[in-house]
Amino acid sequence: MQTHRVAHKLALAAGQACSSVGSLNEYQHTLKQIYHFFPNSAVQTEKLGSLESILNDENICWLSFREATSFRWPALDGAVRAIYCVYQVLYMALVHHAPSKVPAVRPMDFLARALLLLIKTKHAMKYNLENNENIVSLFEKNVKKQPNKTALILVDGREWTFREVDEYSNAFAHYLDSQGFQRGDVVAIYMENRPEFACYWLGMAKVGVVGALINFNLRADSLAHCISLSEAKGLVFSANFSSVLKDIRHQLPAGIKFYCHGDYDAAIFDAIHLDPILSHSSTLDVHRSHVIKFSDTLFYIYTSGTTGMPKAAIIKHSRFFFMTYTVHTFFNMTSDDIVYDTLPLYHSAGGILGIGQSFMMGCTVVIRKKFSASKFWNDCITYNCTVMQYIGEICRYLLVQPPKPTDRQHRVWCAFGNGLRAQIWPQFTQRFSIKWVGEFYGATEGNANILNPDNKVGAVGFLTQIAPFLYPVTLIRVNEDTGELIRDKNGLCVRCKPGEPGELVGKIIKGDLLREFDGYVNKEATKKKVARNVFSKGDHAFLTGDILVTDELGYLFFKDRTGDTFRWRGENVSAAEVEATISNILKLNDAAVYGVEVPGAEGKAGMAAIVDEHGTLDLKKLYNDLQQSLPSYARPVFLRIGQEVDVTGTFKLRKTDYKKDGFDPSKIKKDRLYYLDTKLGEYREIKMEIFSDIQNGKIRI
Share of the chain above pLDDT 70, in %: 80
Predicted confidence at residue 466, as pLDDT, reads: 55
Predicted confidence at residue 320, as pLDDT, reads: 97
Ranges 3-17, 90-104, 366-380: which has the least confidence: 3-17
Nearest to 433 by CA among 487, 499, 380: 380
Predicted confidence at residue 41, as pLDDT, reads: 41
Predicted confidence at residue 44, as pLDDT, reads: 41
Predicted confidence at residue 682, as pLDDT, reads: 93
Pairing outcome for strands 436-441 and 450-451: antiparallel
How crowded is the C-beta side of 675, counted as CA atoms within 13 Å?
22
Flag whether pLDDT at 331 surpasses 80: yes
Give mean pLDDT, residues 345-364: 97
- pTM of the predicted model as reported, rounded to 2 decimal places: 0.79
Predicted confidence at residue 613, as pLDDT, reads: 85
More confident residue, 191 or 601: 191
Give mean pLDDT, residues 145-172: 98
User: Confidence band (pLDDT; 50, 70, 90) for 47?
Assistant: very low
d(CA 165, CA 149): 11
Share of the chain above pLDDT 90, in %: 58
Predicted confidence at residue 45, as pLDDT, reads: 43
If 0-12 CB within 10 Å is exposed, 13-18 middle and 19+ buried, where does residue 573 land? buried
Predicted confidence at residue 105, as pLDDT, reads: 46
d(CA 325, CA 167): 24
More confident residue, 364 or 480: 364
pLDDT tens digits for range 264-304? 999 999 999 999 999 999 999 998 777 899 999 999 999 86
Residues in a beta bridge with 568 = 571, 603
Nearest to 302 by CA among 195, 193, 199, 218: 218
Pick the most confident of 102-106, 231-235, 310-314: 231-235
d(CA 68, CA 112): 11
Nearest to 162 by CA among 201, 195, 185: 195
Flag whether pLDDT at 368 surpasses 90: yes
d(CA 527, CA 520): 9
The secondary structure of 495-507 as a DSSP string is BPPTT--EEEEEE
d(CA 370, CA 265): 24
User: Confidence band (pLDDT; 50, 70, 90) for 674?
Assistant: very high
User: Confidence band (pLDDT; 50, 70, 90) for 627?
Assistant: confident
Residues 6 or more apart whose CB falls under 8 angstroms from that of 572 comprise 480, 481, 565, 566
More confident residue, 522 or 309: 522
H or E element in which residue 378 lies? helix 376-382
What angle, rounded to 10 degrees, do the helices at 135-145 and 195-206 form? 120
Query: Could you give the 3-state DSSP secondary structure of residue 8?
Result: helix
Exposure class string for 246-273: b at 16+ Cβ within 10 A, else e: eebeeebeeebebbbbbebeeeebebeb
Give mean pLDDT, residues 204-226: 93
Predicted confidence at residue 4, as pLDDT, reads: 47
CB-CB contact of 638 with 683 (8 Å): no
* 600 to 457, 565, 596: CA distances (angstroms): 42, 20, 12
Give, as one character, the DSSP assignment of residue 45: B
Predicted confidence at residue 33, as pLDDT, reads: 59
Flag whether pLDDT at 677 surpasses 90: yes
User: Confidence band (pLDDT; 50, 70, 90) for 483?
Assistant: confident
Rounded mean pLDDT of the chain? 85
Nearest to 603 by CA among 565, 567, 562, 634: 567
Predicted confidence at residue 378, as pLDDT, reads: 98
Predicted confidence at residue 110, as pLDDT, reads: 61
Flag whether pLDDT at 235 surpasses 50: yes
Flag whether pLDDT at 633 surpasses 90: no
Work out the angle at residue 632's Cα, subtended by the Cα atoms of residues 630 and 637, and round it to the nearest 5 degrees.
100
Predicted confidence at residue 482, as pLDDT, reads: 72
Ranges 350-354, 578-582, 627-631: which has the least confidence: 627-631
CB-CB contact of 300 with 210 (8 Å): yes
d(CA 316, CA 339): 23
Residues in a beta bridge with 390 = 417
pLDDT tens digits for range 191-203? 999 999 999 999 9
Flag whether pLDDT at 6 surpasses 70: no
Predicted confidence at residue 3, as pLDDT, reads: 45
Predicted confidence at residue 51, as pLDDT, reads: 57
Flag whether pLDDT at 115 surpasses 90: no
Give mean pLDDT, residues 11-33: 58
Predicted confidence at residue 629, as pLDDT, reads: 80
